[in-house]
A = this chain, B = another copy of it.
């Protein structure tokens, strides 16, 4: 199971604005990718050094600078200085236990998001922090480790599919966030199927081992909730407060995004309620099994304990027990035992215990 320490890394007593990478993913070397495009052209670069990137601050088209691996704080600081980014923003990028948020700053917009996906073995949720800075004419994205989640978006830019190419950097930022929110749907779909399978098991073949599953999904939903709820209020604020970098034509897309987020949150809440319901069904099944066990014990004990007493009576060694000499006494006693058992069985049938 996911260790808590991954989610709440230790924040050390460093002065504010002092940069250290606080994630638990192995701190990869920082790699850079730049896509610079306008309506007519797309140019891609993979700069080796940070200073090659700085010129995109003033380049005429839209530049998407993708920074992967947060291990090299020096490189980050250089980017920060080059693009005029506040020290605290850089600190937030490195502190991967940040809550999702959208800060509308004067010169740029700073957005923190969580990217969730199932790991290779599909067995546990992996949460990674993605930060975005939207400036005039450029977007910088920061990821903890290399991944292919943005490849379809890059493809769309290259091929000019959709309206990315014709729009400004705000649309690009939207498109990046949209990819991440879409990821939530994939994870939720996966989780939903797993919960449904668990539900079938719990309803049809309740057994103790299912409790672990219920507990696990409960916990995963707790983390999903923790990383989606703040999105709601942050995107809501984004829509409410106007910002010069967000053009009018992007607003409908942002509203769309907001609605998708609401849908994700609704679904997480519905899943939480479903898992709670599962727990109730599970506990009730377990208690029914207990009832069943007790019924078996009670039926057997209640039938045979009195019979054993009867047998015990005629096993007594009193000299004067006239019944013992009666020839039909033995079959009579056996018959009486059968009768007692029969009456009990009828009684238990009535009570629906059998």
Question: What is A's interface to B at a CB cutoff of 8 Å?
Answer: 3-5, 8, 10-13, 15-18, 86, 88, 91-92, 97-99, 101, 103, 152, 156, 161-164, 174-175, 178-179, 182, 185-186, 188-189, 192-193, 195-196, 203, 207-208, 211-212, 215, 218-219, 222-223, 226, 230, 252-253, 255-256, 259, 262-263, 266-267, 270, 273-274, 277, 279-291, 293-298, 300-302, 304-309, 311-321, 323-330, 333-334, 337, 352-353
Contacts and interface: CB of A to CB of B under 8 A. Distances in A.
A284 B210 CA distance: 11
The count of identical subunits is: 5
A301 B297 CA distance: 7
B98 A5 contact: no
B311 A320 contact: no
A165 to B, nearest CB: 11
Given A266-B226, A317-B324, A330-B320, A185 B11 contact: yes
Most buried by B among A163, A253, A308, A319: A308
B333 A329 contact: no
B324 A318 contact: yes
Closest 6 CB pairs of A and B: A311-B312, A15-B162, A314-B316, A297-B298, A318-B330, A315-B315
Q: Is the interface of A mostly helix, strand, loop or mixed?
A: helix
A280 B282 CA distance: 12
A185 B288 contact: no
B316 A222 contact: no
Contact of A302 (B186, B283, B300): B300
Contact of A252 (B88, B182, B307): B88
B182 A13 contact: yes
A16 B305 contact: no
